[in-house]
Amino acid sequence: MENKILEYEVTPISLEYFKQRSFEIIFDVFNCMQMCENELVRDYIDIIGTDELYESLKYHNDIIFSSLLTNNYDLIYDFFAWKYSTYSSRNIDVDCFLIEYEFWKESILNHLYASHGSEINIIYDYLISNHLYIKTKALNTKKIEINSNYQKLFDELLFILLNGQKDEFYSLIKKDLTKFDNNIFLFVEELIDPLMYKIGEMWQLNQLSVAKEHLASSLIDEVVNDFIKNDFVKQKNKLMAIISTVSSESHNLGIKIVGKFLETYGYNVKNLSSKITNKELINAIFDLKPNLVVLSITLPSNVANLQEIVNELKNDNNFFNGLVVVGGQGLFNDKQDVIIKEADFCCKTLDDLGRFLNNI
């Protein structure tokens, strides 16, 4: 069984109509799913509930749009492999998605001209024809990679974190920070980032309650913030940097760490995150005229928002002369990294960002 390659481009006009009518399309699919009498669909909704169903459909739509906008179809495969794996772990028969795909196709044709809708629906024909392949491969979704030298420490930190032991969590970091030359930024990349990914994964797989996920995330944020609050400034350069997450991103620890890292290069950092609209973010950048803008996304569903913000900032008519750097987990996958056109640099690690800053 082989995965068919999806390689084609949707015309800009079809993509624009799809974006404009997305709310109506999502709402139609939501109603069709709720009214559907198929047993698989009914079981699916009973397990996840209507609120999660609607949020899942919105996320689904954002992934499709981001993938089409950037011509990166690995976004689609990665998302659906993750979705199949996650919902299978919750005892949901993922064959129900075949019915959902038909609802998407019908709704898209109802709200778009046939010529435009048929372009978008190639995606759903692809998902239907590759359903068995995605279903089989879902067990091989991306695993958390930990440096073998730190596996024991990772397990200790995770255990303490899940038990809400704040003081022990703080003490363990303080004790083992010497293994990282007392570099909190390196510690975060090697251990805190994987910890946050693991916590999120456990919540997605229904192994952790929402309350415990929030508690663990808050504990990480509070403790790490305590370590990075000190002034590490190496030089003064009188330059301003604006940093922000994009759109619906709710976790902003990563961008806070980026901000502190920029301060070590002497930047006056202004953090606009989180949950700021694209328009508010762009207007703030135009008003403040920073030398550097760093934007981050964790969710691949926000790729389209990031692309559109960068396009607006780099539009010659807007006279913005600052540099734009993008990064975050949402831009990187197992196959082809997402390319954000017009960005001056895309960084995967703080080392990448450091090299870029040294070069400028």
**What per-residue confidence (pLDDT) applies to 228?**
76
87-124 as b/e, with b when 16 or more CB fall inside 10 Å? beeeebebebbeebbebbbbbbbebbeeebbebbbebb
How confident is the model at residue 189, as a pLDDT? 85
What local confidence, expressed as pLDDT, does residue 309 receive? 94
pLDDT tens per residue, range 115-133: 999 999 999 999 999 999 8
Put residue 216 in one of left, alpha, beta given phi > 0 → left and psi -120 to 50 → alpha: alpha
Assessment of whether the complete model's pTM goes beyond 0.85: no
Read off the DSSP letter of residue 124: H
pLDDT at 237: 67
More confident residue, 267 or 212: 267
pLDDT of residue 1: 40
pLDDT 10s digits, 184-210: 888 888 898 888 888 877 876 777 887
Mean pLDDT, rounded, for 337-346 = 88
In the chain, where the domains are located: 12-140, 148-228, 240-359
Q: Which position has the higher pLDDT, 140 or 240?
A: 240
Instruction: Return the pLDDT at 141.
Output: 57
CATH tag, 148-228 = 1.10.1240.10
Question: Thinking of the domain 240-359, which architecture would CATH place it in?
Answer: 3-Layer(aba) Sandwich (3.40)
Residue of 309, 215, 293 lying closest to 255 (CA atoms): 293
| pLDDT exceeds 50 at position 2 | no
pLDDT at residue 4, rounded to an integer? 58
Strand order in the sheet with 268-271: 268-271, 240-245, 292-296, 323-327, 345-347
275-306 pLDDT tens trace: 788 899 999 999 999 999 999 998 889 999 99
Residue 11 in this model has a pLDDT that exceeds 80: yes
Q: Is the pLDDT of residue 109 over 90?
A: yes
Give residue 230's pLDDT: 62
pLDDT at residue 139, as a whole number: 65
Domain 12-140 has CATH 1.10.490.20: yes
Phi, psi of 346 (to 5 degrees): -120, 120
Instruction: Please say if the pLDDT value at position 252 is more than 90.
Output: no
